Amino acid sequence: MNVRARQREVTRATLLRESRRLFAARGYGAVSLSEIVAAAGVTKGALYHLFESKAELFRAVLEQVQQEVARIVAETADAEDDPWTRFTAGCQAFLTASTAPDIQRIMLVDGPAVLGWNEWRAMDEAGSGSHLADVITELIDQGLIPPQPVAPLTHLLSGAMNEAALWLAASGDPEAHLPDTRAALARMLDALRLP
């Protein structure tokens, strides 16, 4: 790889790292581009050479965060053989991962507001969202869940886990409430299962 192309990647990675840190700490609206480029040690010229706008920079950060979460969920789920266990383990992994503060603010709070809910949803479905729909489809096919349209149930569960993660992180002591929340989620998932 070229020196130029490599340097470009370094600058881009630095901007992504610093903007992710600042966005996570104080939110999209409260962080200025001047702040970001100062933290990254470059100027606005560099930023606008690499990203089209502030919103596009945020989108790139969000993409990175979502892929991290999707990877964790996929790895946890794939470690299980039983389809039902894959389902519940993946959900629990998502809940735990989404409790991290930087993932919270970027992925769950600012994401929909900055990009609009439609685009946010589209990005989510390219990440962990599709895993959920896939595994639910599988469970219906195998007769473990009553036959039903997949999309509504997927969004009910996705929203439940998102909100639970937000509450967990905001509740002061996530570690303390995690067991109860995991238990409540487990009860909810088990309740969906056919006898």
Partner DNA sequence: TATCGTGACATACCGACGGTATGTGAAAGG
Partner DNA sequence: CCTTTCACATACCGTCGGTATGTCACGATA
Residues lying near DNA in the complex (CB under 7 A): 2-5, 7-8, 11-12, 31-35, 37, 42-46, 48-50, 53-55
- The DSSP element (H or E) to which 194 belongs, if any, is none
Nearest approach, Cβ of 62 to its own copies (angstroms)? 13
Query: Which of 6/193 has CB closer to DNA?
Result: 6
Nearest approach, Cβ of 38 to its own copies (angstroms)? 23
Find which of DNA, its own copies, none residue 121 binds, CB within 5 to 8 Å per kind.
its own copies
Length of the chain in terms of residues written: 195
Q: Is 193 helix (H, G, I), strand (E, B) or coil?
A: coil
Nearest approach, Cβ of 162 to DNA (angstroms)? 26
Nearest approach, Cβ of 34 to DNA (angstroms)? 5
Helical axes 128-141 vs 150-170, angle rounded to 10°: 130
CA gap 86, 105 in Å, rounded: 27
Radius of gyration of the chain from its Cα atoms, rounded to whole angstroms: 19
Site for its own copies in 15-34 (CB under 8 A): 27-29
Query: Which of 3/191 has CB closer to DNA?
Result: 3
Find which of DNA, its own copies, none residue 195 binds, CB within 5 to 8 Å per kind.
none
Question: In this structure, which amino acid lies at residue 66?
Answer: Q
Question: In this structure, which amino acid lies at residue 159?
Answer: G
Nearest CA to 181 among 194, 159, 155, 163?
163
Nearest approach, Cβ of 27 to DNA (angstroms)? 11
| DSSP state at residue 109 | I
CA gap 40, 51 in Å, rounded: 14
Residues that bind its own copies (CB under 8 A): 27-29, 104-105, 108-110, 112-114, 116-118, 121, 146, 148-149, 151-153, 155-164, 166-167, 170-171, 177, 180-181, 183-185, 187-188, 191-192
